[in-house]
Amino acid sequence: MGNQKVVIIGVSVVVLVAVIGTVAVTLSSSHSSAAQPTEEKTLSTSQKNIQEFCSPTDYRQTCEDALHSVTGNDTDPKQLMGAIFNITIDNIKKAFDHSSVLSEAAKDPRTSEALENCRELLDYAIEDLRTSVSKIDDLSFGKVGTFIDDLKIWLSATITYQTTCLDGFENTTTDAGESMRKALNSSKELTSNILAIITKVGDTVSEFNLGLSRKLLSDEYPSWFSPSKRRLLQLSLSELKPNIVVAQDGSGDVQTINEALLHAPKKSQDTFIIYIKEGVYKEKIQVNRSNSHVMMIGDGPDKTKITGNLNYVDGIGTFRTATLGVVGDDFIGKDLWIENSAGPAKHQAVAMRSQSDRTVFYNVRFDGYQDTLYAHANRQFYRDCNISGTIDFIFGDSASIFQNCLIIVRKPLDNQRNIVTAQGRDDKRGASAIILHNCTITADPEYYPFRAKLPTYLGRPWKIYSRTIVMQSQLDDLIHPDGWLPWNGDYGLNTLFYTEIDNRGPGADKSKRVAWKGVKKVDYGHASKYTVENFIKGNKWLPQTGVPFFPGMLPQTQADRIH
């Protein structure tokens, strides 16, 4: 990985540093009255600075020990922020190297795959941390709030990648999982600490109202959007002028989607448009991280079908079963049908996995059974999509909003129950949630007669801080009166955040819902935190794509009655 230039954070970081300094001063004032005079005398200035810097974190000792090991007497907030990023990167790199060592000795196929996944995921984590620091160099006063929003998303993704690495060792027969857990322990704590510090900075920005006008910022084009990308989804196919055409019958430039991706430029800011003509494409596809700003457009969600059948029962880990995997940022998909055809008996079988930041899917159909749609990490927006499945079929740890989507529950195996969502937030400050807004949850015709015997639940807590919001949606009578299902005993029931507001239909009756501490009643004001304009800051980036969306809550009496 080489030496990182992470500790050098340019002059343009002054604004952020000033905020961090304000946090440190505030914390110092709040702690000084409680400190004993003898303690004040024995602590050096650098020790006190480090303590104050680390005070918002959950793993304070890890934070303080790490900073003491690399800093001298110069411990101003800028230097400490650079150091903690650099230390975290180094720790993840050590875990990355450890996975390589373990891989050489691994003989179990599932363990080998899990270690391979770890190397990929930890590489993503390192790159996100580097990106976070590099963006600081471009920071100006008017963009502090926007940068903090971005940073919280990227840090949450970094935590997600480390967690996903460890999840891959479930049901393996070796001790490699425990070895990797130990290797990642400090880096997970350090990443969580950075997120805690940045969250505190964000709170301070809001508290002191440092001249940030979100209304003005919402009309700006972000730096990652080129003029050619604006409002693409409002153009006709002829106006779009695809860069490459895929057609099985030979009428296009290439016959497979993977061939088309070979022509996509690396790290380009210009949208690369792939038009996929009507047909059934039996391919496993990944849009790599280097392929940003890729757009795939088909002939419609009942005509352009991308299908596969990789699954857990046949020996493939969940992460690798996706028919379509999207990693490169700013991906747009429109008028497509993405399927995993493995069936309910094959258990985990993903149709689509996305960790692309600022993903947009518009008028796309996702079909599968268990684990259909893996909304893995970062910001994602789904509009007018159809999603079918059985168990945990919308899952992941992204900040994802599903708007005006038709969610179709299929018939599971006779010993199974259906769960629509399984949200995977693993840190209480994580910037992720699954949000269903003005969607419809209904039964597939084959499942309809069995909906009482094999009930459906809105969600269950995959991770301890699972967060799911269902609002202004149509819930048909397949929803069990409990609403939500435990994962395992009382795991997460006190720490999750689940809420329903202003839903409609026979399944929306909340009178018999479970009474867990984490199931909350919220008003419109609270619910508005989970809208497009507030939760994923969609007003800043969705208008440029041209996807239709409503930014806030719909009026209570005027919610769309779609589908």
pTM for the structure as a whole: 0.90
Distances (CA, A) of 93 to 4, 124, 260, 495: 11, 11, 33, 31
Q: Return the residue matching tokens 């609002």.
A: 471
Among residues 384, 392, 426, 427, which one is catalytic? 392
Digitized pLDDT (tens) for each residue of the chain, 563 residues in all:
333 333 323 333 444 555 555 544 444 444 444 444 444 445 577 788 888 889 999 999 999 999 988 866 666 777 888 889 999 999 999 999 999 889 877 788 899 999 999 999 999 999 999 988 877 655 554 566 678 899 999 999 999 999 999 999 988 888 999 999 999 999 999 999 999 999 988 887 776 654 444 443 333 444 444 444 457 787 888 788 999 999 999 999 999 999 999 999 998 999 999 999 999 999 999 999 999 999 999 999 999 999 999 999 999 999 999 999 999 999 999 999 999 999 999 999 999 999 999 999 999 999 999 999 999 999 999 999 999 999 999 999 999 999 999 999 999 999 999 999 999 999 999 999 999 999 999 999 999 999 999 999 999 999 999 999 999 999 999 999 999 999 999 999 999 999 999 999 999 999 999 999 999 999 999 999 999 999 999 999 999 899 999 999 998 654 444 43
Q: What is the DSSP string of 105-128?
A: H--SHHHHHHHHHHHHHHHHHHHH
The tokens of 140 are what?
């100006």
Are the C-beta atoms of 266 and 293 separated by less than 8 Å? no
Nearest one of 425, 455, 426 to 441, comparing CA atoms: 455
Task: Identify whether 392 is a catalytic site residue.
Answer: yes
Burial per residue of 286-304, b for 16 or more beta-carbon CB atoms within 10 angstroms, e otherwise? bbebebbbbbbbbbebeeb
Question: What is the enclosing helix (H) or strand (E) of 39?
Answer: helix 37-42
Distances (CA, A) of 19 to 31, 289, 401: 18, 32, 30
Nearest one of 190, 137, 107, 125 to 9, comparing CA atoms: 137
CB atoms within 10 A of CB 358: 26
Sheet containing strand 456-459, edge to edge, reads: 285-287, 324-326, 352-354, 373-375, 391-396, 418-423, 456-459
Q: What angle do CA 433, 438, 444 make, to 5 degrees?
A: 95
